Amino acid sequence: MPTHYPEVSATGPSLTTAQTRIRITSSPRAWSRRPAHVSEALDFWSFAGGAANVVMQLGWPEVAYGVIESKVESGSLMRHPWKRARTTFQYLTVAILGTEQERLAYREAVNVAHRQVRSDANSPVRYNAFSRELQLWVAACLYIGFEDTHQLLHGRMSEEQAESFYRSSFTLGTTLQVTEEMWPATRTDFDNYWNDACLRVSMDDTVRAYLMDLVNLRMIAWPLRLAFGDLLTFLTVGFLPPLFREQLGVEWSEDDRRRFEHLFVFVSFVNRFLPRFVRHGANYVLMRDIRRRIRAGSKLI
């Protein structure tokens, strides 16, 4: 089966997985041998890497300036962080758990906001939120985040499990404008796409300053930063592949990596004893809220 994803235009030497993915060495084999599905990654710990995933998405300048220059004030991450978090997590929830009709409703709501996200004459790069190429990149980042966290929590997947997990993830992009034909056909094809796409990762001073505010949680109240800031910053940097850390200019030592993995060894052990409704409860609440809003004809974002 041919691969239909668009060619990624970039210059420079090729990248390796060691540069574009986090290294996980302490994760044991998966808990189960049954086929894996992306819905299993909707664990509340999966969202610990949310800020890192935003950094990765904004690694492409077109996505970064689309966010930084966005005229949709109500969806601003820095001005309305909790609302933005809610709508982002609901997008992921409906993309994975929703019906076709629910995905269509959410797509239309997102499209309303995306129509206002276009570059103008003063923008340093050209962008359009409806670009399928940009949406494929964002969806690929989301997939990377889910796969990394799933393996930290549930153990390394076999090749067959990784393939089934990957195949079940296509709705992360197809809920918007990405077509199924654009997705790399196999998990191996995805690795090739990802490494090529990462050649376009570039952060200038403006983007770097914006993202460092995100990493340092400048958008939330100082009491929360005081209580959770160090842990969340540690998790954010830990979920970033080496390439993104280098672009951002943050340090990450081998001791940091070991502490990060040991934390998830502990979390993974505890997670085995938590019932599914606890681990996935937040997503069920978000899904009920989406359905309530659809029935009431309320705004979804």
CB contact set of 48 (below 8 Å; sequence gap of 6+):
149, 232, 235, 239
Q: What pLDDT score does 6 carry?
A: 43
Q: What pLDDT score does 279 carry?
A: 86
H or E element at residue 70: none
pLDDT in tens, the chain (301 residues): 333 334 455 555 789 999 999 988 766 665 567 788 999 888 888 788 889 999 999 999 999 999 999 887 665 667 777 777 888 888 999 999 999 999 999 999 999 888 888 999 999 999 999 999 999 999 999 999 999 999 998 888 889 999 999 999 999 999 999 999 999 999 999 999 999 999 999 999 999 999 999 988 876 666 766 767 788 899 999 999 999 999 999 999 999 999 999 999 898 888 888 888 888 888 889 899 999 999 998 888 7
Structural tokens at position 295: 């029935």
Q: What pLDDT score does 103 carry?
A: 94
pTM: 0.90
Q: Give burial (CB, 10 Å; 0-12/13-18/19+) of 106.
A: buried
Listed by start position, the domains of the chain span 33-296
Q: What pLDDT score does 7 carry?
A: 45
Please work out, in degrees rounded to the nearest 5, the angle formed at the alpha carbon of residue 96 by the alpha carbons of 176 and 106.
40
Write out pLDDT tens, residues 149-204.
999 988 888 899 999 999 999 999 999 999 999 999 999 999 999 999 999 999 99
Distance CA 49, CA 149 (A): 8
Instruction: Give 231-292 as a DSSP string.
Output: HHHHHHHHTS-HHHHHHHT----HHHHHHHHHHHHHHHHHHTTS-HHHHSHHHHHHHHHHHH
Computed over every residue of the chain, the mean pLDDT equals 87
